[in-house]
């Protein structure tokens, strides 16, 4: 994708979004500190686009995804969502019926296809529920719609009356996808949607997600830790580290020409399915910083091989170093980092 | 003679619904200091193979046939499957000569005992050392696997350690008695890529220092590609292909392996669509006598592949494949084939 295309219609704009979880102590639940799960994140998603969120566990990707679908409340910031062609709403400010009215436009697919479906509901009921709940269709019409959507995701009529336990992991994930698609949403947050699946099944679901995007123009916020999968499916990638997005760029740009030392290390850690190619690996020392007590300056400086005195003192600004290539690093202009290719 | 030679291992689970042939005639060999990969999807029998070799299969599971000749530390030979389940010989092998790194360190460790005491227990089992020497040994082990502040960590409980640290402790436990062979069952699947890289690097170093043979059991092709010398590909309880890692990735023969390798996204080779293998891995309850991959195989020969099980035959030097496209030889039937 070039600069031209990326100016296409936006559907979601996240501004300065922040989530602090309080740490309480004692009988009176006194607040003694905060876990900075997500800290001042800015990003946008275009129509029909896949934006991937990558990062280690504990980096805040899931919290960000859940805030966007309003599964948890944000502490600060705004989430602007384009409901239809002209109307923008701020999801963080909506309440009650207003919120319910926009919920049909965004949906979530979960990681674990075993625990995310109610074992006591049939496939028909599971997929139909959003239609009823959002008052989009009922009765025969709803059933017809469910049939249609199941066919699209590769299940058929004979599956309608069955319960989730009768399905394999891949099929359950298809049920989850059908449920999230049935209301014609504009945005789907896929939280590690293919991580729990077997290799051969993962390819089926990835292809399905791509097909659906082409067919319905739906956008994905694709939360994943498998960078090979991300490179395959995403148009743009945002890299998170301890609650902050440290780099955001178009996929081939980010993989080929990373500008943040953390991205470089992350890419070099990815094992490649090719025994002939031995890459020199940057082994990061230590582990993710504690988001309840993050280091001073740039959060990455204790693990960063390029860190200077400046990095330990000053928090780097979020800035655009090249068209559509955003980064938070003091030394982005002087470092020459190695990409994956 | 290799360190371990396994021939015709069959481990079945006798359930009310029928017989699950989890491992159905697996043969493999592990040389000294070799690094082997066993690749397979869930249900392929790769974990049960390792559990069988450690004799950790419990009813309704049962090793119904096969033998596994192990060359012990004292250069004597023993058939692991012929040993009594409670025998001293088996106890002296398990943990001491063969050991296993489990996938989920959170569930593999006991939550109510400290890390140090759990590793120490294993050392106490296999040596006559007194408790102070054992503590010193365990602290040293924790240090070797890269756990900082091992004196303090010794007295901590599993929940106090991060995932990466727990996995390191797991490795320390597996290596605590200087085994010859370590089975690593998805050792990095639950970890982040940066931690995965740390752990795999650690395994490589330890393997060199300790002269270990390591068997990686995983579905992650990239981990296998980067870390192993030889690979066994398993599907539905059988080895369908085995060769050197390089050969497997450059010229796979079995239709399953070929498609499996094409179905994973490869960084730097972006394609619009991944190739897929239609259908699911079947549940092996009372499986029909046919090639396990037949129902999903796009190049299957009807009337042949669904009538008999192909034998694992050598196609080129050291490259074995189980497919009728390469050989008409069929697997020899025994009393367990049609039950």
CB-based contact B249 A273, cutoff 8 Å: yes
B161: nearest CA in chain A?
A: A287
pLDDT over 70, % of chain A:
97
Task: Provide the ipTM.
Answer: 0.81
Task: Decide which of A109 and B164 is more confident.
Answer: A109
Model pLDDT, residue A23: 87
Give the span between the Cα atoms of A289 and A295, in whole angstroms.
7
Q: Average pLDDT for residues B214-239, to the nearest whole number? A: 93
- H helices of A226-260, in order, are 227-233, 251-256
Q: Average pLDDT for residues A177-192, to the nearest whole number? A: 91
Superfamily of chain region A5-105+185-327:
P-loop containing nucleotide triphosphate hydrolases (3.40.50.300)
B39: nearest CA in chain A?
A: A199
A111 touches chain B (CB under 8 A): no
Tell me the C-alpha to C-alpha distance, in Å, between residue A319 and each of A244, A247, B44: 13, 9, 49
Q: What are the respective helix, strand and coil percentages of chain A, to the nearest 5? A: 30, 25, 45
Average model confidence (pLDDT) across chain B: 90
Residues in chain B with CB shorter than 8 Å from the CB of A273 are 221-222, 225, 249, 261, 264, 266
pLDDT over 90, % of chain A:
55
Q: Average pLDDT for residues B218-239, to the nearest whole number? A: 93
Question: Tens digit of pLDDT for each residue in B11-42?
Answer: 999 988 888 999 999 999 999 999 999 998 88
Which among B198, B175, B178 has a CA at the least distance from the CA of B188? B198
Residues in chain B with CB shorter than 8 Å from the CB of A263 are none
Residue A75 CB partners (closer than 8 Å, separation 6+): A18, A19, A20
Strand A10-25: give its sheet, edge to edge.
A30-46, A10-25, A76-82, A88-90
pTM of whole model > 0.95?
no
Q: Which single residue is written with the structure tokens 């690094």?
A: B35
Q: Best residue in A1, A232, A233 to probe B by mutation, most B CBs within 10 Å?
A: A232
Token couple for B283? 């549940």
Q: How far is B220 from chain A (nearest CA, A)?
A: 8
Model pLDDT, residue A5: 44
Model pLDDT, residue A201: 83
Q: Best residue in B276, B281, B293 to probe A by mutation, most A CBs within 10 Å?
A: B276
Residues in chain B with CB shorter than 8 Å from the CB of A283 are 194, 197-198, 201
CA angle, A107 then A111 then A114, to 5°: 105
Model pLDDT, residue B105: 74
A–B CB contacts, 8 A cutoff, strictly below: 132
The helix (run of H) or strand (run of E) holding residue B241 is strand B238-244
Token couple for B128? 């006559």
Q: Interhelix angle for B131-144 vs B163-175, to 10°?
A: 130
Give the span between the Cα atoms of A260 and A267, in whole angstroms.
11
| Cβ within 8 Å of B, A 243-262 | 252, 255
Residue B328 CB partners (closer than 8 Å, separation 6+): none
Q: How far is B256 from chain A (nearest CA, A)?
A: 10
Q: How far is A74 from chain B (nearest CA, A)?
A: 26
A274 touches chain B (CB under 8 A): yes
β partners of residue A23: A33
A40 touches chain B (CB under 8 A): no
Q: Best residue in A273, A288, A305 to probe B by mutation, most B CBs within 10 Å?
A: A273
CA angle, A158 then A160 then A165, to 5°: 95
Give the span between the Cα atoms of B33 and A303, in whole angstroms.
33
Question: Tens digit of pLDDT for each residue in A198-235?
Answer: 888 889 889 999 999 999 999 999 999 889 999 999 99
**Which stretch of B188-192, B220-224, B230-234, B316-320 has the lowest confidence by average pLDDT?**
B188-192
The conformation of residue B311, written as its DSSP 8-state character, comes to P
Residue B225 CB partners (closer than 8 Å, separation 6+): A271, A272, A273, A274, A275, B245, B249
Burial class (CB in 10 A: 0-12, 13-18, 19+), B4: buried
pLDDT over 70, % of chain B:
100
SS3 A4: coil
Give the span between the Cα atoms of A24 and A31, in whole angstroms.
4
Model pLDDT, residue B12: 93
Q: Kindly report the number of other CB atoms within 10 A of residue B310's CB atom.
A: 26
In this structure, are residues B252 and B241 in contact, taking their beta carbons and an 8 Å threshold? Answer: yes
Q: Best residue in B265, B295, B297 to probe A by mutation, most A CBs within 10 Å?
A: B265
Residues in chain B with CB shorter than 8 Å from the CB of A227 are 193, 267
Give the span between the Cα atoms of B54 and B95, in whole angstroms.
9
Model pLDDT, residue A8: 66
Q: What is the total residue count of chain B?
A: 339
Average model confidence (pLDDT) across chain A: 89
CB-based contact A203 B198, cutoff 8 Å: no
Question: Tens digit of pLDDT for each residue in B260-296?
Answer: 999 888 887 888 888 888 887 787 788 888 999 999 9
The conformation of residue A160, written as its DSSP 8-state character, comes to T
CB-based contact B263 A203, cutoff 8 Å: yes
Model pLDDT, residue A6: 41
Token couple for B234? 């398993």
B279: nearest CA in chain A?
A: A201
Return the exposure string of B14-53: e unless at least 16 CB atoms fall within 10 Å of the residue's CB, then b: eeeeebbbbbbbbbbbbeeebbbbbbbbbbbbbbbbbbbb
Of A203, A266, A341, which is closest to B276 when you measure between CB atoms?
A203
CB-based contact B265 A199, cutoff 8 Å: no
φ, ψ dihedrals at A241, nearest 5°: -140, 120
A210: nearest CA in chain B?
A: B273
Q: CATH code for B1-83+183-339?
A: 3.40.50.300
Chain centroid to Cα A42, Å, comes to 13
Model pLDDT, residue B5: 95
Model pLDDT, residue A279: 67
Question: Tens digit of pLDDT for each residue in A91-133?
Answer: 999 988 889 888 889 999 988 878 889 999 999 999 999 999 8
CB-based contact A273 B221, cutoff 8 Å: yes
Interstrand relation of A325-327 and A88-90 (parallel, antiparallel or unpaired): unpaired
| Cβ within 8 Å of B, A 139-198 | 168-171, 198
Q: How far is B4 from chain A (nearest CA, A)?
A: 25
Domain extent listing, chain B: 1-83+183-339, 98-178
Question: Tens digit of pLDDT for each residue in A39-76?
Answer: 999 999 999 999 999 988 888 899 999 999 999 999 99
Which among B214, B253, B250 has a CA at the least distance from the CA of B233? B253
* Number of helices (H), then strands (E), in chain A: 10, 12
Tell whether the model's pLDDT for residue B103 goes beyond 90.
no
């Amino acid at each position: 994708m070039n600069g031209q295309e990326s100016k296409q219609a936006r559907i979601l704009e996240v501004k300065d979004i922040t989530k602090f979880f309080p740490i309480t102590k004692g009988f009176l639940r006194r607040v003694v500190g905060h876990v900075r799960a997500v800290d001042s994140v800015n990003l946008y998603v275009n129509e029909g686009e896949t934006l991937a969120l990558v990062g280690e566990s504990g980096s805040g990707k899931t919290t960000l995804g859940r805030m966007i679908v309003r599964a948890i409340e944000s502490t600060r910031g705004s989430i602007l969502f384009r409901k239809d062609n002209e109307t923008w709403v701020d999801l963080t400010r909506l309440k009650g019926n207003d919120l319910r009215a926009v919920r049909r436009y965004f949906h979530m697919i979960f990681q674990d296809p075993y625990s995310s479906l109610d074992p006591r509901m049939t496939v028909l009921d599971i997929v139909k529920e959003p239609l009823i709940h959002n008052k989009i269709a009922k009765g025969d019409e709803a059933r017809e719609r469910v049939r249609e959507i199941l066919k699209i995701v590769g299940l058929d009529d004979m599956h309608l009356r069955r319960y989730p336990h009768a399905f394999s992991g891949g099929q359950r994930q298809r049920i989850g996808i059908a449920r999230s698609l049935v209301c014609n949403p504009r945005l789907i947050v896929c939280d590690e949607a293919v991580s729990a699946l077997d290799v051969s099944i993962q390819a089926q679901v990835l292809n399905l997600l791509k097909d659906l995007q082409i067919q319905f123009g739906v956008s994905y916020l694709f939360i994943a830790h498998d960078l090979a999968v991300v490179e395959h499916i995403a148009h743009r990638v945002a890299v998170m580290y301890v609650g902050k997005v440290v780099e955001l760029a178009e996929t081939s740009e980010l993989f080929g020409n990373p500008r943040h030392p953390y991205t470089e290390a992350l890419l070099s850690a990815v094992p490649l399915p090719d025994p002939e190619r031995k890459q020199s690996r940057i082994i990061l020392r230590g582990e993710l910083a504690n988001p309840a007590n993050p280091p001073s300056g740039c959060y990455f400086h204790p693990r960063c091989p390029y860190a200077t005195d400046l990095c330990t003192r000053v928090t780097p600004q979020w800035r655009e170093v090249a068209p559509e290539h955003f980064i938070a690093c003091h030394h982005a202009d002087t470092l020459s980092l190695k990409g994956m290719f | 003679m290799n360190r371990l030679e396994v021939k015709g291992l069959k481990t079945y689970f006798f359930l009310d619904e029928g017989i699950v042939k989890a491992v159905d005639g697996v043969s493999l060999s592990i040389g000294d200091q070799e690094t082997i990969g066993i690749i397979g999807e869930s249900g392929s029998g790769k974990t049960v193979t390792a559990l069988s070799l450690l004799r950790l299969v419990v009813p309704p599971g049962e090793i119904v046939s096969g033998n596994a000749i192990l060359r012990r530390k004292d250069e004597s030979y023993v058939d692991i499957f012929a040993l009594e389940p409670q025998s001293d010989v088996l106890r002296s092998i398990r943990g001491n000569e063969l050991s296993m790194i489990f996938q989920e360190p959170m569930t593999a460790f006991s939550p109510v005992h400290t890390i140090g005491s759990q590793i120490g227990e294993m050392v106490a089992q296999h040596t006559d050392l007194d408790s102070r020497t054992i503590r010193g040994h365990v602290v040293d082990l924790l240090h070797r696997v890269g756990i900082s502040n091992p004196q303090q960590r010794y007295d901590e409980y599993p929940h106090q350690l991060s995932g990466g640290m727990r996995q390191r402790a797991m490795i320390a436990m597996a290596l605590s008695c200087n085994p010859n062979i370590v089975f690593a069952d998805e050792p990095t699947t639950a970890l982040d890529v940066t931690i995965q890289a740390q752990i795999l690097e650690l395994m490589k170093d330890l393997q060199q220092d300790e002269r270990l043979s390591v068997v990686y059991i995983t579905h992650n092709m990239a981990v296998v590609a980067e870390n192993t010398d030889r690979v066994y590909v398993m599907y539905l309880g059988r080895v369908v292909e085995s060769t050197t890692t390089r050969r497997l990735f450059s010229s796979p023969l079995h239709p399953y392996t070929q498609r499996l390798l094409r179905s994973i996204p490869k960084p730097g080779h972006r394609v619009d669509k991944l190739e897929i293998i239609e259908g699911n891995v079947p549940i092996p309850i009372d499986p029909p006598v046919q090639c396990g991959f037949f129902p999903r195989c796009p190049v299957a020969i009807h009337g042949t592949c669904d009538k008999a099980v192909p034998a694992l035959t050598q196609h080129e030097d050291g490259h074995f494949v189980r497919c009728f496209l390469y050989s008409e030889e069929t697997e020899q039937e025994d009393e367990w084939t049609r039950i």
